[in-house]
Amino acid sequence: MAEVTLTNVCKSFGDDVALDDVSMTVPDGSFVVLLGPTGAGKTTTLRMVSGLDTPDMGKITIGGRDMAGMTPAQRDVAMVFQQYSLYPHLTVRQNLEFPLKSPILRTPQPEIDRKVKEVAEVLQISHKLDNKSTALSGGEMQRVSIGRALVRQPSVYLMDEPLSSLDAKLRSDLRIELKGIQANSGATLLYVTHDQIEAMTMATHVGVLDNGKLVQFGSPRELYENPVSVYAASRLGQPRINMLPADIFGGAPAAATHIGLRPEQILQGNGEDSTVHRIEHLGDQTRLHLSFKSHDLITVTDAHTDLKVGDIVKIRPHEALYFGANGARVA
């Protein structure tokens, strides 16, 4: 359990700038989620912290200690790889035991057995413990790979899209387990995901990466309600925030070129006319695709709505977000 800081960290691969002057503090015991589209530098950030790669510039500390020149083993981090690399010559059990048997931990066998059993139960892989690790499904491999991190109690857990290939039920089970483990043990987690729900439900802090730059860092709520840019606003929210010309409803601030409307910022019932051109019933909610002054926008409505394609819905904005020409938030 430790605080992690990155100060002015830069990393390039040839001409490819993977991280551009990233500074961030992962508080002790926090659950920090990194968001960003593919190639944004999320994996690179984790690799910097783990010590598998070293920054070209800048400083990384874990628990207040400078990590320059420290090997991954000395940093005491556990990592779940995006490529869940199980040791193919070992069984599932041996894979889970591997970190505990390291020369640094040298855990006694009874303790190893207890930990492995416990973690296998949490991850629902107890029945596969004696399988060869190559004889598993993708989702099972991914769980073993999470397990290999969870058997330890490192200063920081680094997880790179750990739940990406699990089914919806398992994913929500493990979301709760992971959050529980973090909350109970006070572990520090740096976690990469593309999944909205994971970010919103588990994170204490969210960092948004754009092309190697950290553009916003704050609580998920802050990020959702108070995004600094169009880019940050687009990271969270299902369906995505709607972007329309700023003056479409009138009353926009002078510098604004776009108005951003999340579904709950579109009030239905009065205002201006829009036409329903598509309806998606998702079970717990219904998505309305509306045509409004030749723009498309998506919002949500009752699960049991009577609306049909072609109906007219009156809409008006409520506490909308305004953005300037360069994408930055203006109001």
Ligand X SMILES: Nc1ncnc2c1ncn2[C@@H]1O[C@H](COP(=O)(O)OP(=O)(O)OP(=O)(O)O)[C@@H](O)[C@H]1O
Q: Token digits for 72?
A: 């991954």
Q: Between 47 and 205, whose beta carbon lies closer to ligand X?
A: 47
> Does residue 13 belong to the site contacting ligand X (CB under 6 A)?
yes
Q: Does 193 bind Mg ion (CB under 5 A)?
A: no
Please identify, among the stretches 36-44, 100-108, 128-136, 252-260, the one whose residues bind Mg ion according to the rule CB under 5 A: 36-44
- Binding window for ligand X (CB under 6 A); candidates: 12-20, 63-71, 127-135, 148-156: 12-20
Q: Rounded CA gap, 190 and 79, in Å?
A: 9
What are the residues facing 261 on neighbouring strands? Answer: 242
Query: Is residue 217 close enough to count as binding another protein by CB under 8 A?
Result: no
Under rule CB under 6 A, residue 83 binds ligand X: no
- Give, in degrees to the nearest 5, the angle at Cα 70 between 68 and 73: 150
User: What phi, psi does 150 have (nearest 5°)?
Assistant: -70, -20
According to the binding rule CB under 6 A, does residue 5 interact with ligand X? no
43 binding Mg ion? (CB under 5 A): yes
- Which range touches another protein (CB under 8 A), out of 98-106, 223-231, 240-248, 299-307? 98-106
Number of shown-chain residues binding ligand X (CB under 6 A): 12
Distance CA 62, CA 224 (A): 28
Examine residue 257 and tell whether it contacts ligand X (CB under 6 A).
no
Is the distance from CB of 107 to CB of 96 less than 8 angstroms? no
Pick out residues in 100-119 that bind another protein (CB under 8 A).
Answer: 102-105
> Should residue 78 be labelled a site residue for another protein when binding is judged by CB under 8 A?
yes
CA distance 290 to 293: 10
E-strand ranges in 100-201 read 156-160, 188-192
Would you give the distance in Å from CA 35 to the centre of its chain?
A: 5
Site residues for another protein per CB under 8 A:
50-52, 71-73, 77-79, 81, 83-89, 98-99, 102-105, 133-134, 138, 141, 148, 165
